[in-house]
Structure 1
Amino acid sequence: MSTMQHAAVAASGYTAPRFSGVRDAFESNLRNGDDIGASLAVYRHGELVVDLWGGIRDTSGTPYPEDALHVGYSVTKGVLGLVLASLIDTGEVDLDAPVPAYWPEFGVAGKDGVLVRELASHQAGLPAFDEPVTKADLADWDGRVCRLASQAPAWSPGTQHGYHALTLGYLVGEVVRRASGKSVGVLLRERFAPDADLQAWIGLPAQHNRRVVRYQDASPTPGVGAFLARASETSGTLTHATFSNPVVTADLFNDPASWQPEIPAANGVFDARSLARLYSSVVNGPLRAISPITVDRVRHQQVYGPDEVLVEQPTRFGTVFALSSPRQPMLGHGSFGHDGLGGHLAFAQPESGIAFAFLTNRAIPDPTPHTRLWRLLSAVAAAL
C-alpha cells in the first residue's frame, strides 16, 4: 500500500442517533480505500444531523483536519445556482428574459434570442473558448466575458445542450453582475453569510490558503470512463475543446494562485458543513432563504438527454443545477445540486428536508455514480 492508502478509518465528528449508519458507511469508504481523506455533512430541515471528517490529508500521512477546505470544482456551479436563485427570488433576474436585456453585448453572432434559462442550462452553445486560454487567463473576468459575448455558438442555442465546464460561470456570472451590480462571490457572502461564519467563498481570502486540502488526481479506468477520456483527447471534438483549453484536471486548481480570483463554475472553496448549510436555504426549516416557488422554478427540468460534451451519459439540468438522473441519482426524485470533478457532491432534496455535502481528496475521474457515494447516500436514505 502507498502512504495515501494508509488512511485512519475512525471518523471524527457527530451523527444524530438515527444517522449512525452514515458514520459506518463513511468509515467503510476509508477502510476499503475508496476514500483517502474526506468530510461529510448532512442537514435535515435546518438541523445538522451528520458532521464527519476523517482519513489523511496528503502523502505526508497528516490526519485530515477538522477545518479542512476543498476547492469544489463543479460543486461551485451549484453555489452559483443558489446565488442566481436569490436574484430570481427578489425579481432582479427573470429566467424568461433574453440575456441581452441584462448584457447587451451578448446579443451578437446569433445569440440575441438566448433566454437566461437557456444560458443557465448549458444550451447557449458556448461550452469552450474559441481562442487559446491559459490558466492565468481564467482570472481575467472582463477578458473572458468579452470574448464569450462576441463568440459564435457551436450550435443553434436552445436546440441542444452540452456541458459548459468553465464557461458557465462567466456566462451566468455576468448576468448576475449586470443585474445586481455585484459579483457572484460578493453576493454569496452578502446574502448567505451575513454573520461571516460560513466557510464558503468564490474568491478565497489568502489567509485561508493553509486550510485547503489538495486533490490527488487519478487516471480513468479502462472501463466506463474510457469513451469520455478518448473524446477529451481527440482534437476537433467539442469535448476536447471544452476540457483542453485550458486542460481541466485536478491539478488545474491545486495552485493557490487560482483560489483568489472568481471562477464561478469551478474554483469555489468550501467546507462540507457550510456547503450543506447553503443547501439548507432551499428546504423548510430555520435556514430557508429561497422561497418554495423559486426552488421549484430552478429545479424544473430544462434539458435531459444526450450531451454534446459529456458524451458518455445523458445529462439532466434545471437552471444551473444538475437534477437527479442515472448519472448522479442523489436521493432520487426532487433532488438537485451539483457534483464536482472526481467525486465531490452537494445537493438538496426538499421533499425529505435533506441538504447533503461530501468533499474528498481522492479524485475518481470516471463518470458517476461512484461506489463511495452509493454507500453514503444509501445510508442517508436508510436513516430516512
Structure 2
Amino acid sequence: MRPLYEGHPEAPVAEPARGADLWTPRGFAEPGYGAVVDAFADAAAASPRGGAALTIMVEGRTVVDLQAGVADPAGRLWDRDTPTGVFSCSKGLLAALVSRLVMAGLVDLDRPVSFYWPEFAQAGKESVPVRWLLTHQAGLSYPVEDVEKADVIAWSPVVDKLAAQKPLWEPGTGWAYHALTMGWLVGEVIRRVTGRSVGEVFRDYLSDPIGASASLGAPHMAQRPVAQMAPIPGFSRNSLAGVDGAEDIARSFTLGGAFPIELVGPGAGFNDPDLQAADIPAGGVIATAADLAALWSSAIIPTETSRPIDPLVLSDMTVRGTFGEPVFGIAGTPTPQWGTGYMIHSPQRPLLSPASFGHDGAGGQLAFADSDHGVGFGFVTNDLRGEGDTRSLDILTALQNTL
C-alpha cells in the first residue's frame, strides 16, 4: 500500500510541502483497505488537471477517507472539506428526496403529475404519472424553446415551458435521458407539495438530519470555494457531428443556450457561481465525497438523528424500469439501467452488487448505497473524463475484493 496518513477521519492532515507529490493520497483508511487506497492513488494519478476524493462508509462507520490533487488551477489543495459539483449524482439524491416525500405521504408516484401541478395537463400530458418524470419516459428530455441562463436562475420560466410543451414522443412508450429537465419536472412537483424551494426541502429531508454540508443552491456559497472543474477532453458540439440525434443530445445538455455543451468552462456552466447558486436539481448539487458517502449511508443505516428509507419504498423504486436503446442517443453506446430515479447495478454500469442504488455523474463521479454490504460510497473529481475512464470502476473492483 502507498504511504498514507493513518488516523481518525476527523483528525487534521498536515498540508504537504509544495514540492511534494500532491497526487499522493492524503487522509485515512482502516487496515485491510490497502487495495482501495492503491486504486484511489491510481485514479488520482489519472487526474493531473485537478484532484479527487473518496469516502466509503460501512455500517455507518467511515473506513476510507482520501483526497489527492488540487481543487483549482491556482493549486489550492483538495482536502476533506472541498466541495465540488457532482453533476448527475444529483439525480440519485433527487430520487432519495422523493423517497422521503413518499414516506411522508406527500407524493404518490403513480398519480398523474397534474394532480399536484395542474398546469402540466397540457398537450397530451394529462395522464403522465409522477414516476415517468423519474424514469426518463416523460418525453420532455429537452425544451423545444431555448432556455437561457436567466431562465435557469429564475426557475419558473423553465417549468412553464415544459408544462406547455408537447412531448417529444408518446410518454411511456420509450425513454431518453432527461439530463437536466428531470430536475425541473420532479422539482416542481416537490415545490407544489411542500410549498418550498427544492433546495430548502433537500436540506430539510437529506442534509440537515445528518449534519451534511451538501446543498442545492445558494447556501453552499457561504461555505468553502467550490472546486473548479476541467471539461471532458475532446467532447464538444463538433464531436457529435454525424451522430444520429446529435441535436437532441446537444439540446438535452444545453437547453438551447443556458449551458455549454461541455458542461463547464472557465467561469461557465457548472463553474459559474451564478448557476452554482441556482436550484438545478438534476445536476447542481454541491457536495464533498464525505457528504455523498454519509447521505447514501443514511439511506440504509439509521443514525441518531435519521432513519433509513423505508424498505418497501426502496423496493418499489429500485425495480428495473428503464433499460435498452433510447429514443435518441449515440448508437451502440452502453446505456445504464434505472429504477425510479435511482441508477441500479447493471452490466453496462456496474455498481458494488445488485443491492446497489444511486447515480453516477458526468466526468467520473459516483455515489451510491449498497444495502447488502451496508455501504455508503462517494467518489468525486474535478478532472472530468469521458469514454475509457475506469477510475471509479477500478475503485469499486478493489472494494468488492476487499469486502
Tell whether 2:377 aligns with 1:364: no
Alpha-carbon spacing, 1:363–1:218, altered in 2? closer, same or farther (3 Å): same
| Shift, 1:217, TM fit | 1.2
Q: 1:316 maps to which residue? A: 337
Q: 2:249 maps to which residue? A: 239
SS in 1 for 2:178: coil
AA at the equivalent of 1:190 = D
Once the two structures are superposed, residues 361-382 of structure 1 have per-residue CA deviations (whole angstroms, 9 ceiling, x without a partner) of 100133xx72211221111111
CA contact (8 A) 1:282 1:292 kept: no
Once the two structures are superposed, residues 302-341 of structure 1 have per-residue CA deviations (whole angstroms, 9 ceiling, x without a partner) of 1111123443223311111111223321113122111111
AA at the equivalent of 2:349 = Q
Q: 2:394 maps to which residue? A: 375
Decide which moves more: 209-218 or 166-175.
Answer: 209-218
- Residue-pair matches, total: 373
Q: 1:344 maps to which residue? A: 365
Query: Using the alignment, how far apart are the partners of 1:9 and 1:100 within structure 2?
Result: 51
Matches within 5 A, 1:1-384: 8-33=22-47, 36-194=50-208, 197-205=211-219, 207-208=221-222, 210-220=224-234, 229-230=239-240, 237-244=247-254, 245-246=256-257, 247-248=260-261, 249-251=263-265, 252-286=269-303, 288-311=307-330, 312-366=333-387, 370-384=389-403
Once the two structures are superposed, residues 27-47 of structure 1 have per-residue CA deviations (whole angstroms, 9 ceiling, x without a partner) of 122235577411111111211
AA at the equivalent of 2:389 = H
Alpha-carbon spacing, 1:196–1:18, altered in 2? closer, same or farther (3 Å): closer
Decide which moves more: 146-155 or 237-246.
Answer: 237-246
Identity between Structure 1 and Structure 2 (%)? 35
User: What TM-score do you get using the length of structure 1 for normalisation?
Assistant: 0.90
Alpha-carbon spacing, 1:327–1:36, altered in 2? closer, same or farther (3 Å): farther
CA contact (8 A) 1:57 1:63 kept: yes
Query: Using the alignment, how far apart are the partners of 1:231 and 1:116 within structure 2?
Result: 34
Alpha-carbon spacing, 1:220–1:236, altered in 2? closer, same or farther (3 Å): closer
Query: Using the alignment, how far apart are the partners of 2:46 and 2:295 within structure 1?
Result: 30
Alpha-carbon spacing, 1:310–1:355, altered in 2? closer, same or farther (3 Å): farther
Gaps of 5+ in 2: 1-19
CA RMSD of aligned residues (A): 2.4
User: What TM-score do you get using the length of structure 2 for normalisation?
Assistant: 0.86
| Shift, 1:7, TM fit | 5.6
| Shift, 1:165, TM fit | 0.8
CA contact (8 A) 2:231 2:384 kept: yes
CA contact (8 A) 1:128 1:164 kept: yes
Decide which moves more: 328-337 or 244-253.
Answer: 244-253
Alpha-carbon spacing, 1:323–1:19, altered in 2? closer, same or farther (3 Å): same
Once the two structures are superposed, residues 15-38 of structure 1 have per-residue CA deviations (whole angstroms, 9 ceiling, x without a partner) of 121323211211122235577411
